[in-house]
Amino acid sequence: MGKRIILAIVLLSVSTSGFAQKTKKKKPNKPRPQGTEVLWREPVDIGSRDLFNGPGGESMKPDLSRVTFIRDQAGGGYSINYRVRDGSGNIWVAKLRSEAQPETAAVRLTWAIGYMTEINYLVPCVKIEGAPSSNVKRCEGNGFANVKFEARPKHVKRLENWHWASNPFSGTKEFQGMIALMSLMNNWDLKDDNNKIIFVPQGPSGPELQYILSDLGATFGKTGGLLSRTRNKPEDFANSKFIEGVQGGRVRFSYSGKNSGLFSNITVEQAKWLGGWLARLSDKQISDAFRAANYTPDEVQLLTRAVRARINQLIALRN
């Protein structure tokens, strides 16, 4: 009898101990950083912006003397993403496969006209020590071909996603212009998971919450359904239609992709506002965005002409 009582006490002790562990209070979440919410900032230097090096400039380029694999990066979707460390100890997300090129160019065009963006660079060939073998295009010395390096600066904190349907900028000309820009680049993957709020403690206006498009890889192909849409297909992009016309003061975009309802309420004035900023870019600047993405000279020329033609369509819009 005594042994049974002792055993019951022990079991009760273990049980209540486990319950106490399960009901242990979680540590309170850290408060969300505060700052000015920013989507777009007037690019007063637009004519001199360097679209080859992009928002990070020459100074932030990755140190390729040694690149080492840290781990797989979750949330890559279509692409293969690795978290890597460069020769200077800086952390990057390396994107492989066909989204790397168009995203590099798309970020530069988006940044050039004042929108907040990631910082990235396209490396034509790089060896990543310790990386798992992947079924992707390889290059000299068993390197990886056309890898996009996206910066993860230590001082920047990545917060939650922002939503296309509800955000502080909905309805503004800057937000409507961003939507029109997505049609101009044939970005058919407009989902909330591709948007991010980042906290920058020392922005131009002090601490900032920057609303960025963190994945622009589904661009420069053609929009469409699951089986017809493409990415990183310059000929598809050049041959696709951009604007159908104007109806009731609203622009009818030839867009078929995710969140297509966003395009139903963009006014002629809002679209022309976007076109006015894009028109300030020279052909060389536009070409530099595609050269930075390692497109061939023929592809650079084709893409530059197609983008310029779309800008001209925006400028020419009439009610």
Please check whether residue 213 lies inside any domain of the structure. Answer: yes
Q: Is residue 60 part of a domain?
A: yes
| Mean predicted confidence (pLDDT) in 114-128 | 97
Measured in whole angstroms, how far is the alpha carbon of residue 48 from the centre of its chain? Answer: 23
Q: Quick one: tokens of 133?
A: 């073998």
- What's the pTM? 0.89
- Inside any domain, residue 12: no
Question: 308 with 316: CB under 8 angstroms?
Answer: no
pLDDT category at 28 given cuts 50, 70, 90 is: low
State the pLDDT confidence band at 12, using cuts at 50, 70 and 90: very low
pLDDT tens-digit map of 256-311: 999 999 999 999 999 999 999 999 999 999 999 999 999 999 999 999 999 999 99
Residue 218 forms part of a structural domain:
yes
> Domain containing 187: what range?
33-315
Residue 19: per-residue pLDDT: 41
Q: What's the total number of domains in the chain?
A: 1
pLDDT band at 14 (very low <50, low <70, confident <90, very high): very low
Report the pLDDT averaged over residues 214-230: 95
Residue 85 in tokens: 């460390």
Nearest CA to 131 out of 173, 180, 81, 178 is that of 81
Q: Which tokens sit at 291?
A: 């050269």
Is the residue at 233 inside a domain? yes
Tell me which residue of 175, 179, 168 sits closest to 209, measured CA to CA: 168
Q: Is residue 25 part of a domain?
A: no
Contact (Cβ atoms closer than 8 angstroms) between residue 197 and residue 207: no
> Is 11 part of a structural domain of the chain?
no
Q: What is the pLDDT of residue 76?
A: 55
Residue 209 near residue 197, CB atoms below 8 Å:
yes
Q: Under the phi-then-psi rule, with left for phi > 0, alpha for psi from -120 to 50, and beta for the rest, what region is 248?
A: left
Position 2 in a domain: no
